[in-house]
Chain A
Amino acid sequence: MVKLIVDDKAQVSLDYVIAVSIFILSFFFLLSVISNLFLPFQFNSDETKSIADRISTILVETNNGIAISDSSPNIVEEQKIMQLNDDLNDNVTYEIKRAQLGLLTSTLNYNINVSLRYFNNTPYPSSINPLLLAGAIPDESSNLGKTVRIVYLSQDSKKLILIVKVWL
């Protein structure tokens, strides 16, 4: 009997391995489950992206935006672009414009940045005096939604891109 117990002693390591494995597995399982549980609340990228899409549609495809008319989507007018640039670069009208676009309500408070650029991403017509480079400036850590639309500036006969960025 005594001999048997002595032999059993060496097998304790096996029990130990199983116990440690179960412990570590459950620990990591819990870790991943808990982090996944909070994931949907941490990121709002889906929301910002769809808001950016909506804003870009208002701007590019409607008369209330910068399109020349409701029947000519993607064709933008210089006068309206200059007005939008002024509105978004002034602190008072920035708030009004945000409210008009549905970015500033009692429950929402999104910032916006709109720019008109060449296809190679440099501001149009030059970086010193851009036609449209307006709105707040996102900080590095903000989680922003971005939409790129191709537009045609009829006055200058130029194909350009309109970039809309929205973040909380």
Chain B
Amino acid sequence: MIRNEKAQLYTIEAIACALLLVLVVIFVIKAAPMTPNSSSSSHQQIEVQLTSQGYDLLTVLDYVPEGSTDLSQLKQAIASWNGMEFSGQAAVSPYGGPTNVTANDFKEALGDAGIVYNLEVFFNTSAGISSRPMLWNGKPSDNAVIVSKSIVLNDEDMAINTDLKSIIPDIDLGTKFYNIVEVKLTLWRM
């Protein structure tokens, strides 16, 4: 009787051990591809969604009604920007100005929806293309998407903004054309 029980104990332990081992191996194999950073078809869809939202926002901000001589909101934001980078969701100086209003729109449309964004301004200089961050939320992740919009500035747009004049140069002094800036918006999800 005693000898028989011994054998049973070994077998049950062995089965339990094997089962446990196999289950762990299967769990590890199954769990490995499910990290949030692994690429998948759903990830591509998120990138497509981010791209379309970025372009949508820049299009909407750069809208000028037909027949209107006003500057678009995006152009106003750049024309009255003093060239300072501001980090995170902090208020923009000059406070209450068009730059601040636009920065707030970015926060409302993207930041509040869990999308992180950087807004940079690229412009021509005599030495080549230079850039300066406008809204900065940190280094983008590997899955970030970039959308951009070109904006033409003329001498009148820049007339009152001496701060920005020292950063973005007039690349054609002979004409009213001032510079072309490319507004680059980088979007990603944390």
Contact = CB atoms under 8 A, between A and B. Distances in A.
B7 A17 contact: no
A165 interface: no
Interface residues of A, number: 33
Contacts of A32: 26, 30
A60 B55 CA distance: 12
Size bin of chain B's contact surface: 20 to 34
Contacts of A147: 49, 52
26 contacts: A10-B7, A12-B7, A12-B11, A13-B7, A13-B14, A20-B14, A25-B22, A28-B22, A46-B45, A74-B56, A74-B59, A74-B63, A75-B63, A119-B109, A147-B49, A149-B52, A149-B53, A150-B53, A150-B57, A150-B109, A151-B56, A151-B60, A152-B63, A154-B65, A159-B108, A159-B109
Contacts, number: 75
A3 interface: no
Nearest to B8: A13
B15 interface: yes
Contact of A119 (B41, B56, B108): B108
Interface of A: 9-10, 12-14, 16-17, 20-21, 24-25, 28, 32, 45-46, 49, 53, 60, 72-75, 119-120, 147-152, 154, 159, 161
Interface of B: 7, 10-11, 14-15, 17-19, 21-22, 26, 30, 41-42, 45, 48-49, 52-53, 56-57, 59-60, 63, 65, 105, 108-109, 112-113
